[in-house]
Amino acid sequence: MAYHSIQGLAHGRLDLLNQLRTFLVTTIGWTLHDDQSADPQPYFVFKSHGESGAEDVYLQFRISTTSGRIHVAAFQYWDAATHTGVNEASHTSYTYLRVEDSADFIFWLFADLDHVFVVTKLVSTYYGHYSGLLKRFWSGAIALTQAAVTSGSGVVLQVNDATVVTPGQDYVIKDDAGIERVRVSAIDTAATPNTITVEALVRDYASGAKIGEDPQPVINSYYNAPGTFYAVNKFDGWTSASGQQGRCGAANGGLQGETDPEMRYGTTILFPWLASMSGSAAYQELRGELIEIFSVGGGNVASEDTIQIGTDSYRVFNLTTGGWCAVKE
């Protein structure tokens, strides 16, 4: 479905949780994958296959045991029958929506089937939280395994389309239970089905497993995004809930204050927020951009103003820590 945004008033954090459910499921088209509204800590798990229909996004929003928070977690997979997740990306101290427990507060929701961005206003402070897919710099093309495969050396995978990989290159393979990096040694596009041979496979994978450059670029940010985030995986898989740390940085070179407005025609410049993995040197890479969130200077705007660029409207916020952002409405 198309991109949408709303502004509303929440009567406490449980009300926001319920309004978020209505917005994501009814307006945007996410699936309510697990409804645990009767839990002592009520939560919902939302599922999306993305705008492309080929993604895997699982996000949990839960009333926290800590006041003033709705905890957010992303998962590689969520089992709705057992209410358990696989390969979580979160941190109990940082990945949450900043809210009021029972008092009224204003909020804004921005989302499509790829992501959701939540802004809350507490008194005069604005907090942002981003979760979902990145606009990836790597290819989103995937090959789907046509049968289950067993770990070992020189493993041959039957796939629907072997042309998406190149022999001698590394790729990520994942299903609902595991994820790892593999090196492709050969492909056969004449075979029916096509086959991909990998040098080694650490674990077994089910039929329907995905193999590609970046098959699940899902992140879960701090409560004061843009800034630090945790990813569901890095280029060689998953380590721990907070083991795939990254950060966002505006591609403005520190010049946003000098280009807002541009003197010649009084225009406003939107700079993308870049997302990079920022762990050990082995994992540092510029992975993509936040979707429809841009850095701007604050010289000619105030929070909650709108900027019109062509037919598109952008809502401006001076987010705590994140700075001046313009979010597409």
Q: What pLDDT does residue 147 have?
A: 98
Mark whether 110 and 256 lie in a shared domain. Answer: yes
Mark whether 100 and 20 lie in a shared domain. Answer: yes
Residue 121, amino acid: K
pTM, to two decimals: 0.96
pLDDT tens, position by position, 267-315: 888 999 999 998 777 789 999 999 999 999 988 889 999 999 889 999 9
Mark whether 307 and 249 lie in a shared domain. Answer: yes
User: Which of 191, 212, 233 finishes a domain?
Assistant: 212
Q: C-alpha angle with apex 109: 34 to 46, nearest 5 degrees?
A: 15
Residue 281, amino acid: A
pLDDT at 259 over 70: yes
Mark whether 229 and 324 lie in a shared domain. Answer: yes
Mark whether 128 and 157 lie in a shared domain. Answer: no
Mark whether 76 and 106 lie in a shared domain. Answer: yes
Give the mean model confidence (pLDDT) for residues 213-236: 96
Q: Which two tokens stand for residue 162?
A: 């072997």
Number of structural domains the chain divides into:
2
Residue 124, amino acid: S
pLDDT at 60 over 70: yes
- Whole-angstrom Cα distance, residue 179 to residue 172? 7
Q: How far is CA 163 from the centre of its chain?
A: 27
Mark whether 256 and 281 lie in a shared domain. Answer: yes
Better-predicted residue by pLDDT, 208 or 261: 208
User: Largest Cα–Cα distance in the chain?
Assistant: 64
3-state secondary structure the chain: CCCEEEEEEEECHHHHHHHHHHHHHHHHCCEEEEEECCCCCCEEEEEECCCCCCCCEEEEEEECCCCCEEEEEEEEEEECCCCEEEEEECCCCCCEEECCCCCEEEEEEEECCCEEEEEEEECCEEEEEEEEECEECCCCCEEEECCCECCEEEEEEEECCHHHCCCCCEEEEECCCCEEEEEEEEEECCCCCEEEEEEEECCCECCCCEEECCCCCEEEECCCCCCEEEECCECCECCCCCCCEEEEEECCCCCHHHCCCCCCCCCCCCEEEEEEECCCHHHCEEEEEEEEEEECCCCCCCCCCEEEECCEEEEEEEECCCEEEEEEC
Share of the chain above pLDDT 90, in %: 89
Mean pLDDT computed over every residue of the chain: 96
pLDDT at 14 over 80: yes
Q: What pLDDT does residue 44 have?
A: 98
Residue 243, amino acid: G
Main-chain dihedrals φ then ψ at residue 239, nearest 5 degrees: -110, -50
Most confident of 1-15, 184-198, 266-280: 184-198
User: Which of 192, 212, 232 finishes a domain?
Assistant: 212
Q: What pLDDT does residue 97 have?
A: 98
Mark whether 240 and 149 lie in a shared domain. Answer: no
Q: What pLDDT does residue 303 have?
A: 96
pLDDT at 265 over 90: no
Mark whether 151 and 254 lie in a shared domain. Answer: no
Give the mean model confidence (pLDDT) for residues 81-95: 98
Residue 323's pLDDT band (cuts 50, 70, 90):
very high
**Which of these ranges, 26-30, 182-186, 212-216, 259-263, has the smallest mean pLDDT?**
259-263
Better-predicted residue by pLDDT, 282 or 239: 239
Residue 1's pLDDT band (cuts 50, 70, 90):
low
pLDDT at 31 over 90: yes
Mark whether 37 and 93 lie in a shared domain. Answer: yes
- Whole-angstrom Cα distance, residue 248 to residue 278? 10
Of 48, 56, 53, nearest in space to 24 by CA: 48
Q: Measured in Å, how far apart are the chain's first and last C-alpha atoms? A: 15
Residue 256's pLDDT band (cuts 50, 70, 90):
confident
Structural domain containing residue 171? 142-212
Count of CA atoms in the C-beta half-sphere (13 A) of 13 = 22
User: Which of 212, 234, 263 finishes a domain?
Assistant: 212
User: CA distances (Å), 111 to each of 29, 115, 159, 311, 325, in order?
Assistant: 10, 6, 32, 18, 16
